[in-house]
Amino acid sequence: MTVPEADDGAARRAPGGGTIRVRVRLFARLRELAGARVIDLEIPARSTVEDAWTALAASTPAFAGLRVYVTFAVDGAYADATTRLADGSEIACIPPVSGGSGEDAGEAGGASGRRFLSLTELPLGESILEDLADRVATDEDGAIVGFLGRTRATPGTPAPGEEVEAARHAGRRVEALEYEAFEPLALRVLGEIADEVVARFGVSGLAIVHRTGRVPLGEPSVAIVAAAAHRDPAFAAASYAIDETKARAPIWKAEEFADGHVWVGSPARTGPAANGGRPEGGRQPR
């Protein structure tokens, strides 16, 4: 989508007037509605993220009514809708992600110290929790807590706008899940969650591995391991890690049925839960 070209190329990109070019990346249901993964826009200089969405929605009527459910990232970091855009900015439109939302209060894999964070298209093997424990645990850790999320046959809560399609599949079994991720931002968010686990629980041994692509019924899609000296912080860290991953990481989940699919989830939360996961005050570690 473009607006008429300015006569002077230098004026077109001048801070006080003219236009700028930005790139919009679309994911999950927004990608399907637009029929494109990437859309280039030419919009007035000094435009905000909200202005870019308005221009995008004007050319894609199917986006009507979805704004309230969409969050944004600019150049790889979550951003407010009031953020000013520069020439060449990349905007990611983040539809509802695979888990819940809640209250606000930030390479294709990586390891740092006693943490391991990864997105992978490969199946998670039967020994995934043991393998991750070997990566992040030390002889000082008396507790290792693992969580494994698997594809189940019963459907979840449809994402906003998917209610009609979900009703069409009511009573049917889910045959597989299809995951899509905005990998650079997803890994950045997983790193922030790992930092929060250290700050909140004193647990530095943490692994989060999430599948992308198609995950058949009964197979694991996410594995989390927390290693700590005592069991209470290890349990709290593992619980916090999965809750925050599902609420904040730009990872989308579609439930596949015999003759269609339904995107599930809630609007993404862009920061940590205000009181999430902190152990009760005064309680001794165990």
Cβ contacts of residue 195 below 8 Å, gap of 6+?
A: none
Pick 282 or 93 by higher pLDDT: 93
Residue 8 above 60 pLDDT?
A: no
* C-alpha–C-alpha distance, residues 120 and 127, integer Å: 16
- Number of Cβ atoms within 10 Å of the Cβ of 115: 22
Say what the pLDDT of residue 98 is: 83
**Local confidence band at 165 (pLDDT 50, 70, 90 cut-offs):** very high
Mean local confidence (pLDDT), 33-50 = 96
Say what the pLDDT of residue 274 is: 73
Residue 3 above 70 pLDDT?
A: no
- H/E stretch holding 67 reads none
Ranges of each domain in the chain: 9-94, 109-264
CATH class of 9-94: alpha beta
The pTM of this model reads 0.82
Closest CA to 276 of 158, 209, 197, 177: 197
Pick 9 or 112 by higher pLDDT: 112
Q: Domain spanning 109-264 has what CATH number?
A: 3.90.1170.40
Say what the pLDDT of residue 208 is: 98
Q: Which residue's structure tokens are 């704004």?
A: 67
* C-alpha–C-alpha distance, residues 244 and 189, integer Å: 9
Residue 281 above 70 pLDDT?
A: no
- pLDDT above 70 covers a percentage of the chain that reads 85
Mean local confidence (pLDDT), 78-101 = 90
Cβ contacts of residue 118 below 8 Å, gap of 6+?
A: 108, 109, 110, 208, 209, 210
Handedness of CA 170, 36, 268, 234 (dihedral sign): positive
